[in-house]
Structure 1
Amino acid sequence: MTVANESAAPLPPVRLPDDDAALDVRDLRMRYGTTDVLKGVDFTTRRGEVVALLGPNGAGKTTTIEVLEGFRMRSGGDVQVLGTDPARGDENWRARLGVVLQSWRDHSKWRVRELLTHLGTYYSPYSTAQITRPWDVDELIAAVGLTEHANKRAGQLSGGQRRRLDVAIGIVGRPELLFLDEPTVGFDPQARREFHDLVHRLADDNTGILLTTHDLDEAEKLADRILILAGGRIVADGSADELSRQVAAESEVKWTRDGQRYVHSAADATKFVRDLFAQHGDEITELEVRRATLEDTYMAMVRAHESGHGDDAALPFNAEEVNR
């Protein structure tokens, strides 16, 4: 893997117009005692964009999210969430956010429909021309796949069903910006697929979504952009494909000919495969072309940061570099 000009800091994100920006984070810093957890985090996200924030345990993902949600005061930097500094956000601002935490909050005595109906009333005073009214409760229950359980008490739900209820609670106010922390923990494959459809539906309705997950396959399926946080800084920003092109310049090509298996690394896989068929034609079988997966990319970037670049040098993994 080649890292060019490793002493240079990544280019700062372009400031988006207020009407387009969901998050605008500049030089976000957080210090606990003498320990710097966040050392200058910079990124922006758009409304209607799904962004995955990835990073190893202890990288500062939770701290970053809590600052953006207004639950934790930052040590420094400029942060705008829906055009407002979260440290000064009022109830009207909070009504525009949705939060799905990793840990489940106990509402065991409430029935599903009753709970969501009750929570929806908190958003009604903030329903203006700019802030959409809360979900219709039955539409919301159907959207998260709990129609058959609408009259059950929350304490009677399975773990996966309770997680669906968590998601419903997070989006009951039709948020303009949604924070999702490991949202599909406990979901079976069908529930996971339905949730992914819901995320895309919310994004199509111009909801900005910031997702944290350890499921890299999920991040690749859901996210328009991926941010990798390591050592207190964003060390990568781009789509899964853009990031993989920075880490792996070559693709792995496998094929079988005359019963023998071959493997070759090619910088231009398309040209190599074209030449291969021109030379051997129908003798080529079981052709496979593999580029770096998001997991390959993630591991390579985190290892590169941890193994030699140090805390004071931000790696220049930036999607803008790919397009130059």
Structure 2
Amino acid sequence: MSEDYVVDAFGARWSLDTGALGAEERERLHLLWARCRVLGARAEDAGVAPFVVTDGSPYAVSRALTLASLKRRRGSAVLLHAAGLSRGERAIALVGPSGAGKSTASRVLGTHFGYLSDETVAVEADGRVAAYPKPVSVVTDPEAPWDKGEWSPDELGLRKSSDPAYLTAVVVLERDPTRTVPELAPLTLIDALLAVIAQSSSLPALDRPLHRLAEVVSGSGGPFLLRYSEISDCFDVVGTLLDGNTETKRRPWTSTPSPGVQLGELGTDTPEGTVVRAPWRDAVTGEGGTLVLVDETPVRLGPVGEVLWRTAETPTTRDAAYAAVVAELGEHPDAGRAVHDGIASLVELGLLRVSP
């Protein structure tokens, strides 16, 4: 057997160079990463990059390897900062901000379901999850949350995941210490996209990023919000998701890709006050409204903003924009002010342009 130690981090392969470490540190590192090791792979194999380990701290290695792998996978997969669990070929991603309990969920629920990752779920174009069963990072001192301990999945008794496993649901975690019974509730698509974007990496590097992300989060009748107090109370809820018993009727969503041309450019002969869309990257409309990606910034449109942006698909006058808002949202004493302010706001956000 080759002495090379090659690991696969959600599709990025690395040959660990541990020559700077002592025998004990090297042995510990190899134990921690055993689930990610590619047996028989060699450092000179195609697609394998060197990873030199100079710091024997297990958490430092884990963090550095994850960051390096995110850079290598940039633009080729949807990269979520999430816990991943599976049952058979079905997988789910548990997403939430720092402190939401993703590593705890992996450690607790992974004893019953397949453990895919405690922090990075990479979703390929066909929906397959590129597994990352790395050592689980655990805060050991609440006063130093940045200094985490590392335990291997085998040490924690976490089950192995199936290969392949395909993402079928995305769940946003919301821990509520006052809750006595966990609740799995539908989450609007736009709310879910905003929550997941905040926990994603290099999303704008993807082609049609919001469309791709909407496909990911809307599986199995989702997206979902899981409100809970203790994750140990959530085995049944997670089992229901992984069994595929959560199909619900949801409002269909649509996406509006960038046209690939600068529609926002207005000629010198354009009538004064003409309103038109500025260039954008991608947009999705569904439950919860419309979300537009401008450069790398997601902007959620309100009711007036939605009508204005839709109307400005082709150059339009302010009067026509006002008429479109009234026709859709109804008469209102302040409609004129709302349209004026709405156009100004969308111009400031980079969604509209107005000829001088």
Bigger share in helix: 1
> Normalising by structure 2, what TM-score?
0.23
Larger Rg: 2
